[in-house]
Each structure stands twice: as C-alpha cells, then as structure tokens.
Amino acid sequence: MSILNKIFRKRKENKKVNKNSFTKIALAKGEMNVYDFGSVKLHAYKTNDFIEDEVFFFEKSGRVVALEAPCFYDNYDEIIQYFAAQGLAVNAMLIAYHLCGGTFLPNVKKYSTANAVEYGTASGGKALGDKFTAAFGAAFDAKPHEITDVIGAGRIRLCGIDFDITVTHDAFDVVIPEINAVYTHMLGHDCHSIVAGAGHAAAMIALLNEYLEKGYTLVLTSHYTPEDLKDVQTKIDYLNDLKGIASRCKDAASFKAEMQKKYPGYSGGNYLDMTAGFFFA
C-alpha cells in the first residue's frame, strides 16, 4: 500500500468532514459553503470577485474569527448580513497575504505578522494592490487593514479556537488543529500557480509533502474552494512536471506552449505567464 493510500485510509477512519460534505448557501453575489465539524463550523466564502478570492470564517460558541478578508466593496454588506441573520458577528480577524480591503470591519481587532504587514504595505502585496486598483478602479478597496496586534510564529487562541502560525517568506500560513485544516496562500489543483523558479518549486513540493504526511482534512487557500489531499497530490505532480518541462525548454514561449499542451484545461493563464517570466527572465 502506498504512503498516500495509507494516509487516505487513516483519514477515512478518523475524519469528521470532507471537502464534499458541506451546505451551500447562495448569496446575492458570493456563496457561503458551511462545513460542520461539531464544535467548530467553517464558513468558506466564495466571493465571486474579479480575482476569485476565498475568505474563511470559523465559528465557535457564538463567536467568529475571519481568516483573510474580501477586498471588493460589493462583498462587504452580504457577509455582515449573513452573520447578522444568525445572530453572529465577526469578532477577530487574521490578515495574512491580503492586506487590502481595510474598509471591511474597521472596528474589529486584526492580527498579522510583521513580515505580512511589510509585504502588504511596502513590497509585493502593495504592488499587486496597486495593479488591482489600476485594473478595477473604485470597485477595489486598496486601503490596507490597520493591524491592531502584531503576532509571531506559534499558537494564538482567538474566540476559543487555536491557530498555529508559521511565518513564510511573504506572510504566514495557519493550521487549525481542532478541525485538522491548514491554510496557505495558493494551491488550486486544476489551475496554474505562480512559481518563482526551480528552487521555489522544490520548496512548494516539500511543503505539500508535509501536508500529505500530516493528513490534513482540508486545505484552505485564498483563491480556491477548500481542497483535500488528493488535490495536494495533483499539485505535486504538476510541479514536478513544470520543473521537467522548464529544464527542457529554451525560452518562455516554448515553456508556456508545453505547459498548455500538458494542462489544456487549466485556468490561471496569467499565473503561467508570471512563472515563465521567473524561469526565463
């Protein structure tokens, strides 16, 4: 039996929920997918915005913690109204890779790491925010969140839920032990990823192999609905293919053509363009 099959067998014996076990609630613009873990509910909000954001809300004992935030104004009211209809409100927010959207819930305590704040206000995240402002105009909320509490690596407890923080190059990833889930910026089993060279691809593969070893029930990312370990394995295979194709190609155009031939149905063509730029600068 392969390692992956052993992991899937173990998860089948122990899991409380999987990515296909949720209640879908259609809102005016977005969509809320609710996963019930018993003591904790995950409300995974699909924004249906121009950059396909996902925002995650963890409910326990009548309190709610948000992980990331929407950044287009027309998502804000329906989120607030959705929770208000259940007698709930967002009590705290973890802001990692998406520092824009600061008009959303300005009076709620917001937690982030120092490097995430720098990324979102002075480096790569700021550049992306400027790009989105130019592309989408007044619909996009470019204001950065005002971080009330700067945190570091390790465990933080918010609203009775433990969050394990791992500082990354740009911001931070989060494990939610109580529901056996992990949050990272991007996965997407059927879309291209931004890969900043062979070294970055190897680091991504190593991280995803850790996910397999730890047997997470759900993988949460900023631009895709919740995924599972089969999706993780699919992305590992993709990254290995990407490295091999890049090593055989002489320029960005041939690399892109080979990737599109191998993965004809994948979305995220702009991400593939960026990857080609990194590999063939």
Confidence of residue 137 (pLDDT cuts 50, 70, 90): very high
Residue range 94-112: average pLDDT?
97
pLDDT score of 268 more than 90: no
pLDDT in tens, 24-51: 999 999 999 999 999 999 999 999 999 8
Share of the chain above pLDDT 90, in %: 80
pLDDT score of 223 more than 60: yes
Contact 255, 276 (CB under 8 A): yes
Cβ neighbourhood burial of 3 (10 Å; 0-12, 13-18, 19+): exposed
pLDDT score of 101 more than 60: yes
pLDDT at site 8: 40
pLDDT in tens, 50-65: 988 999 999 999 999 9
Handedness of CA 209, 183, 187, 19 (dihedral sign): positive
Output the average pLDDT for the chain: 91
Q: What domains are defined for the chain?
A: 1-10+22-185 (3.60.15.10), 190-218+230-281 (no CATH)
Cα 159 to Cα 68: distance, rounded to the nearest angstrom:
16
pLDDT score of 5 more than 70: no
- Higher-pLDDT residue of 125, 180: 180
pLDDT at site 264: 95
- Element spanning 236, H or E: helix 229-248
pLDDT in tens, 196-208: 899 999 999 999 9
pLDDT at site 1: 42
Three-state SS at 94: strand
Within 10 Å of residue 254's Cβ, how many Cβ atoms?
Answer: 15
pLDDT in tens, 151-198: 999 999 999 999 999 999 889 999 999 999 999 988 889 999 889 899
Residue range 1-21: average pLDDT?
48
Amino acid making up residue 159: C
pLDDT at site 17: 60
Tokens of 267: 């979305």
209: left (phi over 0), alpha (psi -120 to 50) or beta: alpha
Share of the chain above pLDDT 70, in %: 93
Cα 130 to Cα 124: distance, rounded to the nearest angstrom:
10
pLDDT at site 18: 63
pLDDT at site 177: 97
